[in-house]
Amino acid sequence: MPKAWIQERKRDYYYKKAKEEKYRSRAAYKLLQAVKKYKFISKGDVVVDLGAAPGGWIQAASRIIGKNGFVLGVDLKPIKPFLQDNIQTVIGDINEEETLQQILSILPEKADVVISDVSPNISGIWEVDHARQIDLAEQSMKIALKVLKPSGNFFVKVFQGDMFDDFVKKVKEHFRVVKIVKPKASRAKSSEMFVLGLFLKPSS
Ligand SMILES: C[S@@+](CC[C@H](N)C(=O)[O-])C[C@H]1O[C@@H](n2cnc3c(N)ncnc32)[C@H](O)[C@@H]1O
């Protein structure tokens, strides 16, 4: 890792806060801030978290849903286990049908919310990274359409770029209300945005 990047990270407000509050990633605050504003995860909810390693969003979701909810985290990489019985994780590629089957077999019931912070390995070539991210966001939505309850919610990371508007249109086909969200904890210079689809339509 470049030295300047490590120094910048150490000075970062949310990096320090995550360390103090024992979140596994500063990304946890992006989810917490978005939920605070739009209330798309509630106590007792069943949540599927795609691209969940190291587990910051899992922890944030778990604190919101409490003891009666359930969180399932999915990632290509193993996630260090949690002590709570109502948090489970699986290793899986969201592009594989087998991963969808695993999700469906583990969930106690269909999900209230699907959240996805999935990111490709960044190549540094902006068009390539944007296209890969859009692919992963579309794949996340396909999973959401199969695992969500009627009126369920979907929250997904997308990089800005020329395919962004088309993706938002697709989300609008399936969800009654769609919001574009840039939480304070998401660095201003980063092209990442989050698309929130609220209330899955019955036809989906
Ligand atoms: C930004 S990190 C997620 C951080 C997480 N939300 C947190 O708060 O700790 C993105 C994750 O997406 C995962 N990922 C990338 N492609 C994936 C795929 N095809 N299937 C599953 N996970 C994937 C990566 O392994 C990485 O852990």
pLDDT tens digits along 58-90: 999 999 999 999 999 999 999 999 999 999 999
Quote the number of domains for the chain: 1
16 as an active site residue: the answer is: no
Check 157, 172, 179, 189 and give the catalytic one. Answer: 157
Cβ neighbors of 134 (< 8 A, separation 6 or more) are: 158, 159, 161, 163, 164, 167
For residue 14, being part of any structural domain is answered with no
Sign of CA dihedral 145, 151, 153, 159: positive
Q: What pLDDT sits at residue 53?
A: 98
CATH of the domain at 91: 3.40.50.150
Going from the Cα of 199 to the center of ligand 1, the distance in angstroms, rounded, reads 25
Pocket of ligand 1 (CB under 6 A): 24-25, 27-28, 51-57, 74-77, 93-95, 117-119, 136
Per the domain annotation, does 6 fall within a domain? no
Classify residue 54: in a domain, yes or no: yes
Q: What is the pLDDT of residues 84-119, one digit of tens each?
A: 999 999 999 999 999 999 999 999 999 999 999 999
Query: Would you say residue 82 lies in a domain?
Result: yes
Residue 183 lies in a domain: yes
Residue 7 covered by a domain: no
Residue 131's domain comprises 24-200
Residue 64 lies in a domain: yes
**CA quadruple 10, 11, 17, 20: dihedral positive or negative?**
positive
What is the 159 CA–ligand 1 centroid distance (Å)? 14
19 found inside a domain? no
The CA 74 to ligand 1 mean position distance, Å, reads 8
